[in-house]
Structure 1
Amino acid sequence: MKFDRAIKIAPSILAADFADFGAECRAIEAEGCDWVHVDVMDGHFVPNITFGPQVCRAIRPHVNTVMDVHLMIAPVDPFLAAFGAAGADIITVHQEAGPHLDRTLQAIRDLGAKAGVALNPATAPETIEYVLDRIDLVCVMTVNPGFGGQSFIEAMAPKVRRLREMIGERPVHIEIDGGVTAETAPLVAAAGADVLVAGSAVFKGGSAANPAPYGKNIRAIRDSAEAARK
């Protein structure tokens, strides 16, 4: 993974057809997505259950870009190795999910994966100030985690701006997860975000058998985000 700050669209398969993940991953990649985002939820840290490392392992052969795995689980440390073995390129853990974040991030890097930290809406950027040199990505939750299809929290745009200042020249991505659409993407792109996770906004209107709407949706989000940077 070569680092750059170009806008990247990372569709969340949480909004895809669960019965056909392989075809859905191939379809969104063919229609121009940059990463494939996998939301893992445990029914404990967040009020929903999705899937685990076995699903990640099953879809890995169908993902040719970047498999971006977001762990909304606690405790998280006992499961890192399983997701690394499943082929995750990026493993993102929540700042709020455990007491030893620095140790967790080092464990992810020891697995050969990129390390990410996610921040819930109420969590301040300063909570990760002392691990910025341990991370490859910061994921700003722009909804309260647990379910897809929620409304974007506009108060998170200043948080993105503050993180961009804190990161400086470090090769760290700022990812946005929650409520991203062609209308909200410019707010965070202008503030410094470069990876946009979108679920329903990408998958609406299409299917693996009819993927053209996926491409149209991806282009609309990308175009609006890139325009906000000019």
Structure 2
Amino acid sequence: MAVQISPSILTADFAHLADVAAQVDGAADWLHVDVMDNHFVPNLTIGLPVVASLAKATGLPLDCHLMIEDPDRWAPDYAGAGAGSVTIHAEAARAPVRTLREIRAAGARAGLALNPATPVRPYEDLLGEIDMLLLMTVEPGFGGQRFLDIVLPKVRAAREMIARHGGEVWLQVDGGVSADTIERCAEAGADVFVAGNAVYGSADPARAVQDLRALATRATGT
């Protein structure tokens, strides 16, 4: 799979989200949108109305990561609001198969996210229901955290699991991804990279995306 970069707006200026998106348009593959409800994670960000408005304001497809308590109720609505990809957490979903199918039926790619301490192998049977597996490389809830190297063996195990399955499931990592860590993630098997501070903490976000892509591409040889 080709390397994909999905800049996270979590640490960007929420008062100018259209401008934030424009800064990486033409360089990024996706725009990563972290939806937090202050229940599943101890932070509150944005919801459906903002996602619907942002989808109209940018040509970049939105990669919505739902860190919320009731994804079964809300996930299909994010697809309907214009998100190109909607990811739910395995730890929060009560009916993951039904919800993942509803996301797809609403026209978006369906993703399943796992927290750092959640093992990946129990979810092998769900690979046929998803388009992307997201492995958190920090504890979800806040940007700017330090990358957890202990997740790298799980990334390798997930890549092997996807290879056994034989489907075209993307493997995304999210948390602490930077110029110092992206090569390790790519070598372990990730192909979609969420980066917040590494992009929007840079004076030139588009150039930061290009640099991250080059590092990951070099590490994978693609």
**Do Structure 1 and Structure 2 share a fold, with TM-score over 0.5?**
yes
- Unmatched runs of 5 consecutive residues or more in structure 2: none
Aligned counterpart in structure 2 of residue 191 of structure 1, from 188, 191, 205: 188
Tell me, in whole angstroms, the C-alpha distance in 1 between the residues paired with 2:100 and 2:93. Answer: 11
- CA drift at 1:87: 0.3
Q: Which amino acid aligns with 2:161?
A: M
- CA drift at 1:85: 2.0
User: Sequence identity of aligned pairs in percent?
Assistant: 44
- CA drift at 1:158: 1.0
Aligned counterpart in structure 2 of residue 112 of structure 1, from 107, 120, 128: 107
Counterpart of 1:36 in structure 2 is 31
Aligned counterpart in structure 1 of residue 133 of structure 2, from 115, 129, 138: 138
- CA drift at 1:28: 1.0
- CA drift at 1:181: 0.2
Counterpart of 1:210 in structure 2 is none
1:87 aligns with 2:82: yes
Aligned partners of 1:183 and 1:224 also within 8 Å: no
- CA drift at 1:172: 0.5
Corresponding residue SS for 2:91: helix
Counterpart of 2:11 in structure 1 is 15
Corresponding residue SS for 2:133: strand
1:158-173 to structure 2, matched below 5 A, reads 158-168=153-163, 169-173=166-170
Aligned counterpart in structure 1 of residue 177 of structure 2, from 180, 183, 190: 180
- CA drift at 1:186: 0.5
1:216 aligns with 2:216: no
Tell me, in whole angstroms, the C-alpha distance in 1 between the residues paired with 2:206 and 2:196. Answer: 13
Aligned partners of 1:117 and 1:137 also within 8 Å: yes
Q: For this pair of structures, how many residues does the alignment match?
A: 219
- Unmatched runs of 5 consecutive residues or more in structure 1: 207-212
Aligned partners of 1:40 and 1:70 also within 8 Å: yes
Aligned partners of 2:72 and 2:95 also within 8 Å: no
Tell me, in whole angstroms, the C-alpha distance in 1 between the residues paired with 2:106 and 2:120. Answer: 26
Aligned counterpart in structure 1 of residue 121 of structure 2, from 120, 126, 136: 126
Please report the TM-score for the alignment, with normalisation by the length of structure 2.
Answer: 0.95
- CA drift at 1:79: 1.1
Counterpart of 2:219 in structure 1 is 228
Counterpart of 1:203 in structure 2 is 200
Corresponding residue SS for 1:97: coil
Tell me, in whole angstroms, the C-alpha distance in 1 between the residues paired with 2:86 and 2:173. Answer: 15
What RMSD over aligned residues (CA atoms) do the two structures have, in Å?
1.1
Tell me, in whole angstroms, the C-alpha distance in 2 between the residues paired with 1:38 and 1:201. Answer: 15
Corresponding residue SS for 1:138: strand
List structure 1 runs of 4+ shifted beyond 3 angstroms: none
Tell me, in whole angstroms, the C-alpha distance in 1 between the residues paired with 2:213 and 2:151. Answer: 19
Corresponding residue SS for 1:91: strand
Corresponding residue SS for 2:194: strand
Tell me, in whole angstroms, the C-alpha distance in 2 between the residues paired with 1:113 and 1:87. Answer: 8
Please report the TM-score for the alignment, with normalisation by the length of structure 1.
Answer: 0.92
Counterpart of 2:23 in structure 1 is 27
Tell me, in whole angstroms, the C-alpha distance in 2 between the residues paired with 1:161 and 1:205. Answer: 29
Tell me, in whole angstroms, the C-alpha distance in 1 between the residues paired with 2:122 and 2:67. Answer: 18
Corresponding residue SS for 2:6: strand
